C-alpha cells in the first residue's frame, strides 16, 4: 500500500474547485487536507457546496497562511490551483517559495491559464497583464495527459476545457499527417464554463433554450491550442475557432473540420483515431457521433470522425468541469505521484442530466 498524500486546493469556491473536491473526497491515495478561500475562511465547505455534504461533512475553508503550513510541514503535498488566471501564479509562487525554504517538495497542477504558455511575453500578449510569477514558467509543462508521455518538469498546467477537446480532436490529424495544417473549429460549451459569478451569459432566462456564438475568431484559447498542438504534433497549424454558449450546464462539444492531404474513408479515419488513442484509457473512439450526455460528470472523452471527398470532420465531447479541468488535473497528479493514472477517476458518466 502506498502512503496517502495530503492534497490542498487553492481558489476553493468556484465550480472547478467544487468538482475537485468531489473527486478528491473519495480518492484512494489522496487525503483532502485543506481548501483555501480568503472569501470564506472557516466556513463549512458543505454549506457552500451542499451536494458535497455527505462526503465532506466537517471540513472547513482555510486561509492561505494555513495552506502554506501544510506545504511546509509535509514532505510531499498534492497542490491543485483552481484560482483565476492572473491570481493563481502569485499564490503558487508563494507556496513554492515557502516549500523551498522548508525543504519540502509539493507537486502542483495549475488549472488556471497562468502557466499554459512557454514565455511571459506569450502570456501577456493574450491576457494583457503582467505574469504573476515569470521565474516559475520553466517549472511547468502544459499538455493534456494523453499527449505527453514523459514529464520533465516538477509541475503541470492543465489546458483549458475548450482546449482539451480541441487538442484531443486535432492533434491526431496533425501528427498522422492526415490533413492540411489549417483547422476550422466550432465549439459549444455549457454555462458552468463561465464560472460561478453570475453574468448575462450565464443568467438562466437568457441562456435557456438559446444558442449563440461569442468571441468568434478572437477567443483566447486559440493561440493556446495552436501552441500546444505544435508541441504535441510538430505541426504549426492555422487555427480558426468559433465558440458558442449552449443551453446546458455541463459539457463541451467541439467539431474540427480540415482538408485531407489524401483521400480517406470515414472507416479509415475512425481507425486512425482508435490507433492513436489505443493506450489512452479516458479517450474512447466510436463510429457514431458522440453526445455530451455520454461523458457528463466523467473524466472520459469521446471522439468520432467522418471523411467525404477531401473534407475531414472530427467531433469530440468532454465534460468541461471534469476532463476539461478537475478530472484532467487529478489524472495528471496521479501520474506525477506514481499512482495509477485512473485512480479516483473511473466513475461512469451521469447519463440523464
Q: pLDDT, tens digit, for every residue of 71-118?
A: 999 999 999 999 999 999 999 999 999 999 999 999 999 999 999 999
Q: What is the pLDDT of residues 197-255, one digit of tens each?
A: 777 777 778 888 999 999 999 999 999 999 999 999 999 999 999 999 999 999 999 99
Residue % of the chain over a pLDDT of 90: 90
Please give the Cα distance from 198 to 74 (Å, whole number): 37
Catalytic residue among 71, 161, 285, 325: 161
What superfamily in CATH does domain 5-142 come from? NAD(P)-binding Rossmann-like Domain (3.40.50.720)
* Planar angle of CA 159, 163, 164, nearest 5 degrees: 70
| Residue 15, C-alpha cell as written in the block | 465550480
Quote the pLDDT of residue 194: 76
Please give the Cα distance from 324 to 111 (Å, whole number): 9
Confidence of residue 41 (pLDDT cuts 50, 70, 90): confident
Confidence of residue 2 (pLDDT cuts 50, 70, 90): low
| Residue 82, C-alpha cell as written in the block | 483552481
Using DSSP's 3-state secondary structure scheme, residue 342 falls into coil
Selected residue with higher pLDDT from 52 and 3: 52
Annotated domain spans of the chain: 5-142, 161-320
Q: Per-residue pLDDT averaged across 345-351, rounded?
A: 95
Confidence of residue 12 (pLDDT cuts 50, 70, 90): confident
Confidence of residue 23 (pLDDT cuts 50, 70, 90): very high
DSSP E strands, 146-267: 155-157, 182-189, 212-213, 238-245, 252-259
Return the number of other C-beta atoms located less than 10 Å from residue 10's C-beta.
27
249 burial type by CB count under 10 A (0-12 exposed, 13-18 middle, 19+ buried):
middle
Please give the Cα distance from 88 to 11 (Å, whole number): 8
Q: What is the pLDDT of residues 130-167, one digit of tens each?
A: 999 999 999 999 999 999 999 999 999 999 999 999 99
Kindly report the average pLDDT of the chain as a whole number. Answer: 95
- Residues 277, 176: contact at Cβ < 8 Å? no
Quote the pLDDT of residue 352: 86
Tell me the CA end-to-end span of the chain in Å, nearest whole number: 36
Quote the pLDDT of residue 204: 79
CATH class of 161-320: alpha beta
Q: What is the pTM of this model?
A: 0.96
Confidence of residue 353 (pLDDT cuts 50, 70, 90): confident
* Beta strand 301-308 pairing with 311-318: antiparallel
Hey, do 5-142 and 161-320 end up sharing a CATH topology, with the first three levels equal?
A: no
Confidence of residue 1 (pLDDT cuts 50, 70, 90): low
Return the number of other C-beta atoms located less than 10 Å from residue 184's C-beta.
15
Is 161 designated active site?
Answer: yes
Amino acid at each position: 500500500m502506498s502512503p496517502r498524500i495530503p492534497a490542498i486546493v487553492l481558489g476553493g469556491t468556484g465550480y472547478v474547485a467544487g468538482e475537485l473536491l468531489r473527486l478528491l473526497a473519495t480518492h484512494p491515495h489522496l487525503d483532502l487536507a485543506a481548501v483555501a478561500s480568503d472569501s470564506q475562511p472557516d466556513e463549512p465547505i458543505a454549506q457552500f457546496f451542499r451536494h458535497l455534504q455527505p462526503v465532506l461533512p466537517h471540513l472547513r475553508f482555510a486561509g492561505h497562511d494555513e495552506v502554506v503550513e501544510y506545504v511546509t510541514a509535509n514532505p510531499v503535498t498534492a497542490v491543485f490551483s483552481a484560482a483565476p488566471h492572473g491570481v493563481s501564479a502569485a499564490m503558487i509562487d508563494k507556496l513554492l517559495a515557502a516549500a523551498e525554504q522548508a525543504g519540502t517538495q509539493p507537486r502542483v497542477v495549475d488549472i488556471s491559464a497562468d502557466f499554459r504558455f512557454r514565455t511571459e511575453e506569450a502570456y501577456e500578449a493574450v491576457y494583457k497583464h503582467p505574469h504573476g510569477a515569470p521565474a516559475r514558467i520553466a517549472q511547468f509543462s502544459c499538455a493534456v495527459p494523453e499527449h505527453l508521455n514523459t514529464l520533465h518538469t516538477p509541475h503541470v498546467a492543465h489546458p483549458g476545457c475548450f482546449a482539451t477537446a480541441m487538442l484531443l480532436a486535432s492533434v491526431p490529424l496533425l501528427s498522422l499527417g492526415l490533413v492540411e495544417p489549417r483547422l476550422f473549429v466550432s465549439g459549444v460549451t455549457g454555462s458552468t464554463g463561465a464560472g460561478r459569478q453570475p453574468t448575462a451569459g450565464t443568467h438562466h432566462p437568457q441562456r435557456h433554450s438559446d444558442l449563440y456564438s461569442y468571441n468568434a475568431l478572437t477567443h483566447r484559447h486559440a493561440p493556446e491550442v495552436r501552441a500546444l498542438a505544435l508541441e504535441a504534433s510538430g505541426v504549426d497549424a492555422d487555427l480558426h475557432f468559433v465558440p458558442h454558449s449552449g443551453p446546458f450546464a455541463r459539457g463541451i462539444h467541439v467539431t474540427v473540420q480540415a482538408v485531407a492531404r489524401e483521400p480517406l474513408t470515414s472507416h479509415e479515419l475512425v481507425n486512425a483515431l482508435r490507433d492513436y488513442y489505443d493506450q489512452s484509457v479516458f479517450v474512447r473512439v466510436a463510429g457514431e457521433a458522440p453526445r455530451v450526455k455520454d461523458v457528463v460528470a466523467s473524466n472520459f472523452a469521446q471522439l468520432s470522425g467522418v471523411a467525404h471527398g477531401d473534407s475531414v470532420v472530427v467531433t469530440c465531447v468532454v465534460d468541461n468541469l471534469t476532463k476539461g479541468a478537475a478530472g484532467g488535473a487529478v489524472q495528471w497528479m496521479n501520474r506525477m505521484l506514481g499512482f495509477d493514472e485512473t485512480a479516483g477517476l473511473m466513475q461512469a458518466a451521469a447519463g440523464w442530466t
